[in-house]
Structure 1
Amino acid sequence: MFLNFLLQAAPVTDSLANAANTAAAATTDVSVTENVSYLDFLLKGGIMIYPLIALLFFCVYVIIERYLSIKKTTKTDPNMLSEIKMQLKTGRIDNALMLCSRENTASANVLRSGISIIGRPIGEIESVMEQTANVEIAQMEKGLGYLGLISGVAPILGFIGTISGVIKIFHTISTTGNLNIQTISGGLYEKMISSGAGLVVGVIAYCGYHLFNMMVDRFTLQAQRQTLELINVIQDPGHGN
């Protein structure tokens, strides 16, 4: 009886073993599929993928470099302007210049340009400070044109890759005379990869471009406010001369 039980249990055990092996094989296949290199898959997007990859790396470099530079240039001491105004009200122009020289920022450069020519007409002081602010803004905007160019060019390159994929489909159909799903999908996924890559690069460049423009606009408003406050202190008849 016990022998009959073992004989009946053996097929069940074999079935479980086979199921386990099948599951393990399926898991292995899935893991192999998941381990496919994303770079290899991306490179299947056609020849336009290579310039898009180059634009992506250049775009990331410009974004990092501009962010660090603008962040450092626009950083200011919140107490600097009040200290400069206090020194000017007591007639200590040299001390005010020293406070500006201590801060290697765009705002300090603008204030120093105005303080250094105190005694000249107010219109001339305002003009010099405005010109200095424009120079600082131009330095901040250096390289932003590349981001604007990439944001427009990258999607176009992706669209060219799309056209290339469609041409490939119809060329294959015309030469082979076969219209099947494999022939169509071979060109379709190529154009989808190319288009998607172009849009991703374009969005990154577009966001970086407008983010930095917002930072520059914020500095412009700050420079105008500081210029106005400095002019008011200089025009105050009660400040030291």
Structure 2
Amino acid sequence: MTAFLQIPADTLAQAAQTAEVANNPLTHEISVLEFIFKGGFFLIPIVILCCYTIYLIFERMFVINKAAKIDNHLMKDVRANLNAGNLNMAITAAERAGNAQGNVIKEGIHTIGRPISEIESNMERAANIEIGEMERKLGQLGLIAGIAPTLGFIGTISGVIKIFYSISVTEDISIGNISGGLYEKMISSGAGLIVGILAYTAYHLFNGRIDAFTLSIQKQVLEFVSIIQRPNND
């Protein structure tokens, strides 16, 4: 009976080791850079798109914020100079603004003396040119918003195909083999979505800023025409 109850020492050691592993789960950690590199080949163009997106955001932000700024005192200066009959000072005031508003107002001053419809038309064309300059490269942000998530999805699909091909060859369907390869391939999808959201958000924010400028410059054109038609109306 005593011999039956004896347990081999190696069995006890194995049980103790198993319990120790269960009580102390693996805490292997990898750096963010290593984690990113596991994303595969398709992560390379996504990273390039991310860098270009960040560049576009800061470049367009600088251009649009400078061009779309509305100086509320500009029209007062222009009105005062036009009422005094000093066109050169009015042009100088418009040039001093250094933004799209000043360029549009300057175009209107240069056409004073022509029919009102022609003045409005010239100012609207000048405004459209300024808006076109603001919108330049925004189409690229919209394109990146669609391309980046697609690249990430393709990267994940190609990784899943490789995983199942490996399973078909090795016949190893262990959960570790599947989950380990799958999480690496999902990195590209996550990265693509992040870049896409960043580009999509910036695209719509910039367009909203330009739309607000368009409304403001239309009011400026109407005010300028009112100054010409009723020069002494303060």
In structure 1, distance between residues paired with 2:232 and 2:115: 17
**Counterparts in 2 of 1:48 and 1:237: CA distance versus 1, 3 Å:** closer
In structure 2, give the amino acid aligned to 1:93: L
In structure 2, distance between residues paired with 1:39 and 1:124: 60
**Counterparts in 2 of 1:92 and 1:132: CA distance versus 1, 3 Å:** same
Q: Residues 79 and 231 of structure 2 are in contact (CA less than 8 Å); yes or no, is this contact kept in structure 1?
A: no
In structure 1, give the amino acid aligned to 2:98: N
Q: Which runs of 5+ in 1 are unaligned?
A: 1-25
Equivalent residues in 2 for 1:1-241 (5 A)?
A: 33-34=28-29, 36-236=30-230, 238=232
Structure 1, 158-167 or 186-195: larger mean CA deviation = 186-195
In structure 1, give the amino acid aligned to 2:138: L
In structure 2, distance between residues paired with 1:121 and 1:215: 32
Partner secondary structure for residue 120 of structure 1: coil
Residues 121-147 of structure 1: CA distance to partner in whole angstroms, max 9, x if unpaired? 111101100010111011111111110
Tell me the percent identity.
Answer: 51
Residues 3-44 of structure 1: CA distance to partner in whole angstroms, max 9, x if unpaired? xxxxxxxxxxxxxxxxxxxxxxx8xx95xx45x321111110
Residues 107-131 of structure 1: CA distance to partner in whole angstroms, max 9, x if unpaired? 0000000111100011110110001
In structure 2, distance between residues paired with 1:190 and 1:61: 28
Q: Residues 105 and 123 of structure 2 are in contact (CA less than 8 Å); yes or no, is this contact kept in structure 1?
A: yes
In structure 2, distance between residues paired with 1:194 and 1:102: 49
Q: Residues 172 and 183 of structure 1 are in contact (CA less than 8 Å); yes or no, is this contact kept in structure 2?
A: no
Partner in structure 1 of residue 17 of structure 2: none
The CA deviation at 1:237 is 6.6
In structure 1, distance between residues paired with 2:64 and 2:87: 29
Q: Please report the RMSD computed on the Cα atoms of aligned residues, expressed in angstroms.
A: 1.8
In structure 2, give the amino acid aligned to 1:97: I
Q: Residues 52 and 197 of structure 1 are in contact (CA less than 8 Å); yes or no, is this contact kept in structure 2?
A: yes
In structure 1, distance between residues paired with 2:54 and 2:201: 11
Residues 202-226 of structure 1: CA distance to partner in whole angstroms, max 9, x if unpaired? 0000011111101111111111000
TM-score (norm: length of structure 2): 0.85
In structure 2, give the amino acid aligned to 1:98: T
In structure 2, distance between residues paired with 1:214 and 1:61: 20
In structure 2, distance between residues paired with 1:202 and 1:237: 51
| Number of residue pairs aligned between Structure 1 and Structure 2 | 210
